[in-house]
Structures are given as C-alpha cells and as structure tokens.
Amino acid sequence: RLCSDYLNVHLHPKSVYVVRQYMHDGECGCLEAFGQGESLLQDPGCLEELEDRLHFYVEECDYLQGFQVLCDLHDGFSGVGAKATELLYDEYSGKGILTWGLAPGTRNLGIPMVVGFFFLPTQDSPKSLYRALNVALGLAHLSRHSSLLCPLALSGGLGLR
C-alpha cells in the first residue's frame, strides 16, 4: 500500500523512527507546515526518542567529525529538520553539520516563483503558499545551525529562477 512496503534495503531498527500521527492513515493528516514539524520535536517523548537513537550511533564512532542532514524543504519536514539541526548544533558544538535541503521540481507542486523578494504564486491554493513559506523558513532556520547548507532542487523547485 505504501512506497515503504517495497523498500528492499534492510535498515537497522534504531535508524527508523515512525511518527504515528502523520502516517498516511494518521489522526492529524499530512505534515504540511513548518510549524507542525517544529512542534513535533518539541514533544518531550519524541525528542527523547530522537536523542536516544542519535546517541546510539554517536557512541559507535571512533572519531566523530560531523553530521550530514538530508531534509525536505517544501513540507513540514523542514521544521523537523530545523529542530534536529538545532539539536545537533547545541549538543555537538564544534562538529561540522552539512545540511542538504531537498525540494522537488515545481511542475507538479505549484510552488510560487520568487522574483526579487516577491512571491508570484503559480496556483492560488493554500498548499502553494505553505510550500513557499516552508522553503523560506526551512532555509532560514537550517542555515542558522548548519556549517554548510546546500539546497538541492530540480527545475526551480526552491522557487528561484
């Protein structure tokens, strides 16, 4: 039923954390807004679980040099990535944090194009506004706590021409 059902890579159980309320059949629906993702990691239970999983892998390192964070920018995961990067920055100061901000192409998403500082929506819908705000907030917050932020997108997916 889901794309993860066809995942052939066997992942370590400590490397996967399923957020129940934002599953396809969850009670809250989709993780669409930056604030939803940010508030997800403000929940003490979720934050503690993330820290436990992170410490499990950090303790396995002989010489930890830094972290790589891959984060969607166009949806609520930009908020999750921003809080996770802030956690890494606070807890492991002095270690490099390379963040990859990912965004899909705009053809199917209707993400507004940015001209100068003005947003020009390609479709008049709340989702296109959410996506533009998620990208803007995600880039601002991720760049604050990353050593290097590399936005990656296809076909102007970040709203830039």
Alpha helix stretches (DSSP H) within the chain: 34-40, 44-58, 77-91, 126-145
Q: Which residue has the higher pLDDT, 113 or 148?
A: 148
pLDDT over 90 percentage in the chain? 37
Q: What are phi and psi of 138, to 5 degrees?
A: -60, -45
- Least confident span in 16-25, 39-48, 97-106, 110-119: 110-119
Tell me the per-residue pLDDT of 24-40, one tens digit each, with 9 for 90 and over: 555 556 788 899 889 88
Give the per-residue pLDDT at 29.
60
Give the per-residue pLDDT at 118.
41
Give the per-residue pLDDT at 112.
47
Tell me the per-residue pLDDT of 84-114, one tens digit each, with 9 for 90 and over: 999 999 999 899 999 999 988 755 444 444 4
The DSSP line for 61-103 is -SS--EEEEEEESSSTHHHHHHHHHHHHHHHTTTSEEEEEEEE
What's the pTM?
0.77
Structural domains of the chain sorted by starting position, each given as residue range(s) with its CATH number in brackets? 31-153 (3.40.50.1440)
DSSP state at residue 2: -
Average pLDDT over all residues of the chain: 80
Give the per-residue pLDDT at 114.
45
| DSSP bridge pairs for 149 | 99
Task: State the pLDDT confidence band at 4, using cuts at 50, 70 and 90.
Answer: low
